[in-house]
A and B are shown apart, each in its own frame.
Chain A
Amino acid sequence: MPFINEILNYSSLSIVGLEKNTGKTECLKYVLKRMPVDSRRIAVTSIGIDGETVDQVTRTQKPEIVLPQGMFFATSEAHYRQRRLVSELMDVSDENTSLGRVVTAKALTTGKVLLSGPPSATGLIRWMKQMQRLGIDLTIIDGALSRLSSASPAVSQSMILATGAAYSANINTLVQKTAFIVQLINLPLADEEKRNLFGTLEQGSWWLDADGVLNPLSSATSLSKDIRFKGMDRCSTIYVAGALVDGFIEKVRANKDLRQVEIVVRDFTRIFVTPQLFRLFLKAGGRVTVLQKSKLIAVTVNPTSPSGFVLDSDILCQKLSEAIELPVYDLLKN
């Protein structure tokens, strides 16, 4: 598989499922099995609780994660005690999860483990830094979009996206919906100056005038039908620290002075906008950029939905690949 080699060009990878049962865990297993653990130091973790033996939502069987000998992994204390391999403890973090602290260890035999890593974005970043200190070459994050997790997979350098029939049972809808997420993942980075300026702002909305002066976008305006503020004709950029939603884009669009504005968001997971509205905004000359971005390496599909419905794998791969101009793989089939 070509994308295995590409993964090794980056120091971090997240594997993101668009929905439960889109084959994310299969994809993770596939990647882990092929990692060169003899020549590279590789660590794997999951955002939030994962690795349940039975899916907590749909009650379908979930594969356990098998780690090859030599791989590093991070999980919660509770799950560490249930591990089914011999491992050497390397680090115990200060961070508490509902399952105890996050511990990092090295697998000394091949075996199964339940992964449940840092629950927050700062915790995840801290863990990745700690892995660097321990001399880890590559960190792999089992990410999740559909779950309530404040940790964003966008902190990783590269990404693999898992999609499938569980996301939509109609090939055309599935292709469209996935292509839109791919478009969001591929949004351009804001320029460096703006990244530094906005990176420290944790909340609220802000705007930059033509001279680069930062002003808060008062929250009072969010109740009115459109956005009006003094100096708006000189506004070049709006930064939204939280979620970017339809209502906000509509208000911006309703305003002649702001049609060609650049909207900056933290990363693609903060965008909750319908595809039609998003494209209308871009068509009218607006721009959307991000502070953090991952390089999308590949997309994998699981043509089987948890209800038993199966899509034609070849047609799905082909159509999706055409739409997103990236290789698409059905890992179970190959």
Chain B
Amino acid sequence: MQLKTVIDSPCGLRFMLDKLELQSGFARRCLLDMEMLTQAADIQASYDVLHQFAHFVDATDRVHLSTLLFKLQALKDIRTTIQNLEHHATLDDIELFEVKHLAILAVDVKKLLAEHGMEQVVDIPDLDEVITILDPDGLKMASFYIYDSYCQQLKDLRSKMRQNPELNDQLLLEASDLELGVRIDLSKQLHHYATAIRQALLALADVDIYLAKALQMKQMGLCFPVISQDGSTRFEGLFHPQVKEALAAVGRQYQPVDISFDLKPTLITGANMGGKTVVLKTLTLCQYLFQFGFGIPATSAHLDVKSHIFFCIGDEQSVEKGLSSFAAEMKNIDAVIKASRNERKLLALIDEPARTTNPTEGAALVAALLKVLAAADMSLLLTTHYDIEPGDARCLRVKGFDNGVMNYSLVEVHDGEVPHEALNIAQALDIDPQWISLARDIINKNERIL
């Protein structure tokens, strides 16, 4: 699964990408094309490199760092040119310029990284010989044309052109034949370096991506995760960067939470506005960030590698497909159940399933869902307002109103009993008092309203 296919997941992945200060459009394209990592070794390797870049960002003075960042802005996507080279095509002036430009950039970046002992971290192939081929006069300039020194005949023709501009058109025709000969020769020489040039291009994009990730970690206060060995996941001080920023904009503070779960289903209950959905969003976001090698928004994080991530958030009406919100949700959850029968190591986060139907059937659907998924090799987190029998599931509850202030932290409880705070919260929201007090009367009269 590529990053670009999940970037619009409602968990807020796009926000993280938008905040990532990549220097080149090519690096962004590479990142979006990246496949999700599903092997612990790959993820570890990626974080090992990111560790070194984070250290580099901390240890390097701003002048050096901005020189490097500025250089990376010049990185261009020349994959078509490289492909032509690989296929023995003859490159034109513009393509040869692109190759030279990249080679000089690769050598420069390699040198800058080497000054900080980073040459081993990202393998940028040596392209000095490519530069030599495209810079016959040793001018060390990032410009290119078919230099006079490639061909004595061409040199003579050109000096004739400068002396007799009126003969230009005739002489240019002769010159273009000679230039073509030079380009064929250059392309032949460069063909041997095509693989190295491609590697250098991708390595430079990697440098851009790792630097951006390292800078983002610093700016947002993200942490390096530990890869879990026992299938459990643990966060301390977990936060959602987008929600945190939105709150900060109106002068409010985000309350980070601690949470852990393992391969047993986890049921999260809690009052309305208690942040249950935000918790699920953050957990989904973190899992993606982890498997695409980003910093994690928490003070400490242990994560388990998953093969598939499902995030079912209830309000996905699909008008185009003609599905009601209930039908759309059922289909999404159905996909989780089907996957759980064939696949291993799943993560499913389901926000208030069956909430749009009547409470009797809804509660039954949720309880049954817990039973159906209990045996699967997966981590399941599910939020609900329904009173259901938790069975083997672990129960977490949002603390809720505490002296008139919402406390978002999660506490472990031993039953699935749901808090009955909806009316208090509605009252606090200044909702029509007649409506609310009538509802209270109805409950007090013990009518069968639930």
Contact = CB atoms under 8 A, between A and B. Distances in A.
Given A69-B162, A84-B172, A109-B162, A92 B145 contact: no
Nearest to A101: B94
Interface string B151-189: 000000010011001001100100100000000000000
Contacts of B169: 84
Contacts of B101: 92
Contact of B94 (A84, A85, A88, A103): A103
B316 interface: no
A87 B175 CA distance: 13
A77 B80 CA distance: 15
A108 B179 CA distance: 15
Given A77-B94, A92-B94, A109 B76 contact: no
B143 interface: yes
A10 to B, nearest CB: 26
A282 interface: no
Contact of A88 (B143, B162, B165, B168): B143
Contacts of A111: 165, 168, 172
A80 B162 CA distance: 20
Nearest to B74: A91
B145 A86 contact: yes
Contacts of B93: 80, 89
Nearest to B92: A81
A88 B162 CA distance: 15
A94 interface: yes
Nearest to A89: B97
A86 B178 CA distance: 13
B98 interface: yes
Interface string B341-375: 00000000000000000000000000000000000
B144 interface: yes
A136 B310 CA distance: 55
B76 A89 contact: no
Contacts of B175: 86
A80 B94 contact: yes
A80 B145 CA distance: 12
Given A109-B161, A111-B172, A87 B94 contact: no
A111 B158 CA distance: 12
Contacts of B165: 109-111
B25 interface: yes
Contacts of B168: 84-85, 109-111
A106 B98 CA distance: 16
A69 B168 CA distance: 13
A80 B101 CA distance: 18
B76 A94 contact: yes
Nearest to A93: B76
Contacts of A85: 168, 172
Interface in A55-91: 69, 77, 80-81, 84-90
Interface string A248-274: 000000000000000000000000000
Given A94-B25, A94-B76, A109-B168, A86 B161 contact: yes
Interface string B90-111: 0011100110010000000000
Contacts of A103: 94
A88 B145 contact: yes
A69 B169 CA distance: 15
A108 B92 contact: no
B365 to A, nearest CB: 47
A106 B143 contact: yes
Contacts of B162: 69, 109-110
A113 to B, nearest CB: 12
A32 B263 CA distance: 75
Contacts of A88: 143-145
A103 B92 CA distance: 13
Given A108-B158, A109-B162, 4 more contacts: A86-B145, A89-B144, A94-B25, A105-B145
Sort A-B residue pairs by CB-CB distance and give the 8 closest, nearest first.
A88-B145, A89-B97, A90-B143, A89-B144, A109-B161, A88-B143, A110-B165, A84-B172
Interface of B: 25, 76, 92-94, 97-98, 101, 142-145, 158, 161-162, 165, 168-169, 172, 175
13 contacts: A69-B162, A80-B94, A84-B172, A85-B168, A85-B172, A86-B145, A86-B158, A89-B94, A89-B97, A94-B76, A109-B161, A109-B168, A110-B162
